[in-house]
Amino acid sequence: MPYEETNWLKLWEELVSARKLAHAGRDGFSFNRKERAEAFEAGSRRKNKEKGDLFLNFMRFDLKPGETVLDIGAGTGRWTVPLAKVAKAVTSIEPASAMLDILKKNLSEAGVSNVKVIQSSWENADVTPHDIANLIETIHQTPEMHGT
């Protein structure tokens, strides 16, 4: 099969459209709601159990212990926590308070202290360059990305 280069802008547009369809008729930004954040966390734990660490296994090929990771739209920390165990440091950007409450609890329970948490959207966050950026399940949350 011939190698086909990924058109990231087109992929992002498709993801934004799919999200719009899936969320049609629902109210605004639901991740600020405690019940929504708790349901998301329960889903993440279930997925981790069912699917294992597919992404982490992939990341571990690239991520070296001295490197830094930017976790964009970190949510409740599904990736922040395990990445922090490998990376030198992780910066987690997350705008929703309800998600952040769970993220902070998860960080404390995991005993990791190399994570800086920033409450912000990624568009407004003031961060220094990192070695690796992770934006799993976040890219489609940003409807307007042309030119960024």
Ligand X SMILES: C[S@@+](CC[C@H](N)C(=O)[O-])C[C@H]1O[C@@H](n2cnc3c(N)ncnc32)[C@H](O)[C@@H]1O
Binding site for ligand X (CB under 6 A): 31, 44, 72-75, 78-79, 93-96, 99, 121-123, 136-138, 141-142
Residue nearest to ligand X (CB): 75
Cβ partners under 8 Å of residue 21, min gap 6: none
User: At closest approach, how far in Å is the CB of 88 from ligand X?
Assistant: 20
User: At closest approach, how far in Å is the CB of 99 from ligand X?
Assistant: 4
Nearer CB in complex with ligand X: 2/28:
28
Structure tokens at 147: 């030119």
User: At closest approach, how far in Å is the CB of 100 from ligand X?
Assistant: 9
Nearer CB in complex with ligand X: 23/64:
23
User: At closest approach, how far in Å is the CB of 37 from ligand X?
Assistant: 8
Nearer CB in complex with ligand X: 53/137:
137
Nearer CB in complex with ligand X: 68/98:
98
Distance CA 66, CA 107 (A): 20
User: Locate tokens 């490197």: which residue?
Assistant: 67
Query: 130 with 74: CB under 8 angstroms?
Result: no
Residue 20 phi/psi, 5° resolution?
-60, -45
Distance CA 33, CA 99 (A): 8
